[in-house]
Amino acid sequence: MRFKISDISKMTGISPSGIRFYENAGVISPVRAKNQKYRDYSLHELHLLLLCKIYRDSGFSLSESINLLYCSETEQIKHCCEQQYVRLSLEIKRKQILLETLDQRIKDITDFQKDPPYYRFMQSPALLRMKVWQPGKNAKDESLFSQVQEWLKFIPFVESCLILSKDDLYCGKGDLETDWGLAIEERHALLLNVPTMPNVERIPPQDCLRVVIQINEDLSIPGEQLIGVRKFMAEKEVEAAGPAVSRLFLAQNHRDHIVRRDMLWIPIQKTCRNTVKISNLSQS
């Protein structure tokens, strides 16, 4: 029983160029009879292509699929399948976290559209933060660059994270400098097995006031945006308990410029006059 390449392509779902790849790799060897323009493929070659497709659709690369096809050791095939199981498990885990992250992002954007600048009292997640090289503020360290590159493999869970000092939060005017870094939620880092680094700090969960602010192109924060924040905190009788953490929230085009908005997380504590629990502030 012989098949044309168009028939093989329809039956397997493999494109003609893909079939020719397997032919060039030596997986199949179609024959061409005398005076025939096109090559013919046997039932056995159809079977080999379907086996390769099974491996490919199981997540193996082209080269891995071919190697598995020619593998004679049962234990080796088992080992390859075990490795692929681990890779797929991690990928599924990443996709699940990504779904949860996007779902929360959609809800936050929807609420921000209804109520800018979107003040909320809530507990911040625990973060792992890596400081990056900032010209003029810290020495260039080549080892730091390699550590940053390792973390960037975990984008989008690793994101830009800025620190604003408590003094600037309260009294700063003009464009306020921030301390640059990368951050990932601790729970995500544990699930994704993000490598630990010597210069990574942990920012614990804290009761916070969260508000959306706009960030300048040089990653400074316009001080005038904090006027409303300070007034709101005074009205609610809370004060900052430490530096604020600014994490990327939304980027969009505005008049041919990319405008970055962040979630500014301000750790808070009750003032002497305040007798309201922090957990109840969101209801007031």
Q: What is the spatial distance between Cα 98 and Cα 155, in angstroms, rounded to a whole number? A: 10
SS3 annotation, 168-227: HHHHCCCEECCEEEEEEEHHHHHHHCCCCCCCEEEECCCEEEEEEEEECCCCCEECCHHH
- Mean pLDDT, all residues of the chain: 89
Instruction: Write the pLDDT tens digit of every residue in 155-193.
Output: 999 999 999 999 999 999 999 999 999 999 999 999 999
Phi, psi of 216 (to 5 degrees): -70, 165
Please, which pLDDT band fits residue 33 given cuts at 50, 70 and 90? low
Note if the pTM is more than 0.75: yes
Q: What is the spatial distance between Cα 59 and Cα 4, in angstroms, rounded to a whole number? A: 28
- The distance between the two most distant Cα atoms of the chain, rounded to a whole number of Å, is 99
